Amino acid sequence: MSTYRAFEATGVHHLQLVERRLTDPAPGRVRLRVEACGICHTDVLAVEGLREDPSRPIVPGHEIVGVIDAVGAGVSSWQVGDRVGVGFLNGQCWECAPCRRGDFVNCLQQEHTGTTVDGGYAEVIHARASGLVRIPDGISSIDAAPLLCAGLTTFTALQQEGTRAGALVAVQGIGGLGHLALQYARSLGYRVAAIARGPEKEAYARKLGAHVYIDSTVTDPGTELAARGGASLVIATATSGGSMNPLVKGLAPKGKLIVVGATPDPLTIATPDLIFGTHTVTGSLTGSSIQNEDNLAFSLAHDIRPSVEVMPFAQAPDAYERMLSGQARFRVVLDMTAA
């Protein structure tokens, strides 16, 4: 095979199927035959032209599972036939100041899969060896793909220093991120509160692990959390800054609001809500490749799985639209092996 198929994003809201020439991996990189790729809301950066040069073709997708079929010079820890994953962070450089201090997530030379380098809406991708994630036996490529981004993002956000087992932890939003966060929070031993809009989501939230359900259409979630003693952590997954504003006053003393849902509208927080109770508002950006392996091992041990809608590779534009509509339950995954 000398060529492969890929969907390229150019301009604004334009995905085109193209044929590309197959090339050997560069030094320090590997080439994968993609088996599955999840569709994430962050894919809008590529497809909607929200990058430095939207005219430059880019292949979206950063929840990728595949099998290595070629390795570049200098790669010694990976070999042909390994089943691996690639997430949003495509691998650290090892040389910048954050890397030298072990802060690989904030590497200054980090490539972003599907945004600054080609991603997984393709039959083949190239990736840095430093960004590869070993996929354990016992989990399918379809299930593993969303865990590499949506799973890792919420898993790392939930593991904040000082959060004891049995503490009240709240998850705002039951969507692609939130439905996994609820499963992780319950398995980590927290008392879990789910915050969402409408009574129809309560049964599913409790099935995923919530002990408490808060309907934000009928009660202020911050006031409700405070009445329950306050949350040590609130994981905000909804793509709405306005919906996050009431959550700070629902924190326990020294509690943290961890923002993982990317949204263009700002947070508006009253300064007394920060000062009294010594509260913290912070963001959390996914995790490193080795943390992703921890995430997959934990998911496998606790039977944590995403709820997915599977679509064939040829329907990638439709899969993207399905994600964008907000109607997917809860992650859309491209199956490269499907007809």
Taking only the tens place, the pLDDT of each residue in 87-143 is 999 999 999 999 999 999 999 999 999 999 999 999 999 999 999 999 999 999 999
Give the pLDDT score at 10: 97
Spatial distance between the Cα atoms of 245 and 4, rounded to a whole number of angstroms: 46
b/e per residue 165-192 (b: at least 16 CB within 10 A): eebbbbbbbbbbbbbbbbbbbbbbebbb
Q: What is the rounded average pLDDT for all residues in the chain?
A: 96
pLDDT at 37 over 90: yes
Per-residue pLDDT band at 173 (split at 50, 70, 90)? very high
Give the pLDDT score at 56: 97
- From the number of C-beta atoms within 10 Å of its C-beta (0-12, 13-18, 19+), residue 112 rates as middle
Closest of 43, 26, 89 to residue 316, by C-alpha: 43
Count Cβ atoms below 10 Å from residue 36 Cβ, excluding itself. 27
b/e per residue 83-99 (b: at least 16 CB within 10 A): bbbbbbbbbbbeebebb
Give the pLDDT score at 339: 58
pLDDT at 161 over 90: no
pLDDT at 11 over 80: yes
Q: 206 CB contacts (<8 Å, ≥6 apart)? A: 194, 213
Spatial distance between the Cα atoms of 303 and 178, rounded to a whole number of angstroms: 16
Cα angle 199, 200, 206 (rounded to 5 degrees) comes to 85
Residues of the chain with CATH 3.90.180.10: 3-135+307-335
Pair type for strands 3-9 and 124-128: unpaired
What is the number of H-type helices and E-type strands within the chain? 11, 15
Spatial distance between the Cα atoms of 120 and 36, rounded to a whole number of angstroms: 8
Q: 301 CB contacts (<8 Å, ≥6 apart)? A: none
Beta strands in the chain (DSSP E): 3-9, 15-21, 29-39, 63-71, 83-86, 124-128, 133-134, 168-172, 191-196, 212-215, 231-236, 251-259, 280-283, 308-312, 331-335
Q: Which fold has domain 3-135+307-335?
A: Quinone Oxidoreductase; Chain A, domain 1 (3.90.180)
Token pair for 200? 């129809």
CATH superfamily of this structure's domain 153-283: NAD(P)-binding Rossmann-like Domain (3.40.50.720)
Give the pLDDT score at 239: 80
pLDDT at 222 over 80: yes
pLDDT at 262 over 90: no
Give the pLDDT score at 332: 98
Per-residue pLDDT band at 264 (split at 50, 70, 90)? confident
Closest of 129, 121, 132 to residue 71, by C-alpha: 129
Residue 67 near residue 81 (C-beta atoms within 8 A)? yes
Give the pLDDT score at 38: 98
Residues of the chain with CATH 3.40.50.720: 153-283
Q: What is the pLDDT of residues 292-310, one digit of tens each?
A: 999 999 999 999 999 999 9
Torsion sign across C-alpha atoms 203, 205, 209, 212: negative
Per-residue pLDDT band at 263 (split at 50, 70, 90)? confident
Percent of the chain with pLDDT over 70: 100
b/e per residue 49-67 (b: at least 16 CB within 10 A): beeeebeebbbbbbbbbbe
